[in-house]
Structure 1
């Protein structure tokens, strides 16, 4: 590693050095990622898969919709599953004296 006196460098030289270091770090990281990717691809091939096959199946997450648990007393098109933030109509019905069981479906 080069030993030099940073105090002796001009602002222009320091900025150039900073830019060169940032570029060196970026290219080093890119080389490391490429090397890791090549190793993983080789390992996947040894197991009989492509890396794309393994990555695409690992990232697929399907969520099953939760059936509604509560229905608006006057507008049956408005429903709520009971998860997440309470809808305004539900909060208003509770404050008006209705019980959650009164709005329960089934």
Structure 2
């Protein structure tokens, strides 16, 4: 199937390129799916599970622990901040009022 590129205008070329790239992506996905099936078949043939061979696949969630609070609002001790993320309003207000970060540290 020979396409005469010289007779195509700009829009036709863009469309042809877009379709070719989409077909290339589809072929890559098909090949990856076939490879995945082969690997899974080999793993099953040996008597293992996918998680036995690739233990990290079983736990996709990121472990996040809680962080101890680092700063405390002197006016309301129930309000604390770990020092991570956006500064709370009370922290910014205390700094604007002349307090230092070290004054707000939990001791």
What range describes the TM-score normalised by the shorter chain of this pair?
0.5 to 0.7
Is the alpha carbon distance of 1:18 and 1:44 closer, same or farther for their aligned partners in structure 2, counting shifts above 3 Å? same
Give 2:62's aligned residue.
61
Deviation, 1:61, is 1.8
Is the alpha carbon distance of 1:44 and 1:79 closer, same or farther for their aligned partners in structure 2, counting shifts above 3 Å? farther
CA distance in 1, matches of 2:20, 2:13: 10
Is 1:35 aligned to residue 34 of structure 2? yes
TM-score norm. by structure 1 comes to 0.67
Is the alpha carbon distance of 1:43 and 1:72 closer, same or farther for their aligned partners in structure 2, counting shifts above 3 Å? farther
Gaps of 5+ in 2: none
Deviations 1:47-67 (A, max 9, x none): 71235x74222x122110101
Give 1:76's aligned residue.
77
Taking only aligned residues, the RMSD between alpha carbons, in angstroms, comes to 3.2
Matches within 5 A, 1:1-106: 2-8=1-7, 21=20, 24-45=23-44, 46=46, 48-50=48-50, 54=55, 55-57=57-59, 59-106=60-107
Q: How many corresponding residue pairs?
A: 103
CA distance in 2, matches of 1:15, 1:96: 60
